[in-house]
Amino acid sequence: MSQTLSAMVGLRNLILSGELLPGERISENLVAQRLNASRTPVRAALMRLASDGLLDPIPSGGFTVRAFTERDIRDACEVRGSLEGLAARLAAERGLSSDTLNKLRDAVQGMDALFASEDRRFDVDAYIAFNGIFHDTIHAASDSAILRRQLDQLMSLPFASPSAFIESDDSRPILRTILIVAQEQHRAVLEAIEQRQSARAEVVMREHAQNWLRYFMKIRGQEKQLRLKPNGTVVHLRQRA
């Protein structure tokens, strides 16, 4: 794992475990000290988590931890399903170049290889990279500047990103099960786009977003158990009145 990825995972765990509270101001120095890491990868990690919607930048410098509710996450997931479903439909209707199709195929095959590996510890970081390529390629293949702007804005919301996984030793069995389903959906979306089946591509892509929400809710249901484990990470959400 690169230093930046290591810093990103460590910082995400500090936020999700509740060690860094909503509204709390954090800086490169603070995070570097907490993670025993150098400032350069920490700076990159802060920027990445800000783009993922977990942090808000402060104009004068630094970041604050963003507060959000379970409803916020549900709504973001619904919107993501609608927008990505539209992107998949437009990609199927308008057709893809051979280079773009090959890029999608390579991403799916890369994820297939991870599941086929005999390594007992599933390579989540590699999956996130291939998954990001798959989704970004479909966004671009929609050939709609308006839609891409909306998707870019959406990805700044907490846990709206297709790669915003919660990971701990406790969540790994659930995560692997959910990812197997997600991979079947990747194949189905790719097949629908290849065959210019726009309606099918849209429906499967919408269901793909719901699959992530089911994963999140299963992890959320384990909150009491995970809180007792020092290495467990869990999302601590504000309660909506």
CATH of the domain at 49: 1.10.10.10
Q: Is residue 90 part of a domain?
A: yes
Q: Domain check: are 161 and 116 in the same one?
A: yes
Nearest in space to 167 (alpha carbons), one of 208, 107, 215: 215
CB 7, CB 38: distance < 8 Å: no
End residue of a domain, out of 45, 65, 85: 65
Residues 159 and 79 in one domain: yes
The residue whose two tokens read 């790994």 is: 172
**Residue 28 shares a structural domain with residue 134:** no
**Largest separation between any pair of C-alpha atoms in the chain:** 52
Average of per-residue pLDDT across 119-129: 79
Give per-residue burial for 71-96: e unless 16+ CB within 10 Å, then b: ebbeebbebbbbbbbbbbbbbbbeeb
Domain limit, last residue, from 48, 65, 82:
65
Range of the domain at 217: 70-227
* Side-chain-facing half-sphere of 200: CA atoms under 13 Å: 13
pTM of the model as a whole: 0.73
Q: Within this chain, do residues 79 and 115 fall inside the same structural domain, yes or no?
A: yes
How far is residue 106 from each of residues 58, 130, 154, 179, measured CA to CA in Å?
Answer: 39, 9, 26, 17
Q: Does residue 57 share a domain with residue 141?
A: no
pLDDT at 128 over 60: yes
Residue 233 lies in a domain: no
Instruction: Tally the residues of the chain.
Output: 241
Residue 128 maps to a domain: yes
pLDDT, residue 6, reads: 79
Are 20 and 107 members of one domain? no
Q: Are residues 52 and 110 in the same domain?
A: no
Q: Residue range 74-100: average pLDDT? A: 95
Supply φ then ψ for residue 55, to 5 degrees: -130, 150
Do 61 and 75 lie in one domain? The reply is: no
Beta bridge mates, 63: 26, 57
- Residues 149 and 161 sit within 8 Å (Cβ to Cβ): no
Q: Do both 75 and 55 map to the same domain?
A: no
What percentage of the chain carries pLDDT values higher than 70? 83
DSSP notation for 42-82: HHHHHHHHHHTTSEEE-TTSSEEEPP-BHHHHHHHHHHHHH
Residue 61 is predicted with a pLDDT of 83
What was the pLDDT predicted at 233?
36
The CATH number of the domain holding residue 188 is 1.20.120.530
Q: Is the pLDDT of residue 102 over 90?
A: yes
Please report, for residues 167, 189, 190, the alpha-carbon distance to residue 17 in angstroms, rounded to integers and kept in the order given.
11, 34, 36
Q: Report residue 222's pLDDT band, with 50, 70 and 90 as the boundaries.
A: low
User: What are 55's strand-pairing partners?
Assistant: 65
Percentage of residues in the chain with pLDDT exceeding 90? 38
In a domain, 235, yes or no: no
Residues 143 and 169 in one domain: yes
User: Which residues, in sequence order, are bridge partners of residue 69?
Assistant: 238
Specify the amino acid at residue 17: S
Supply the pLDDT for residue 223. 46
Domain count, the chain: 2
Query: What kind and span of H or E run contains 26?
Result: strand 25-26
Answer yes or no: do 61 and 84 share one domain. no
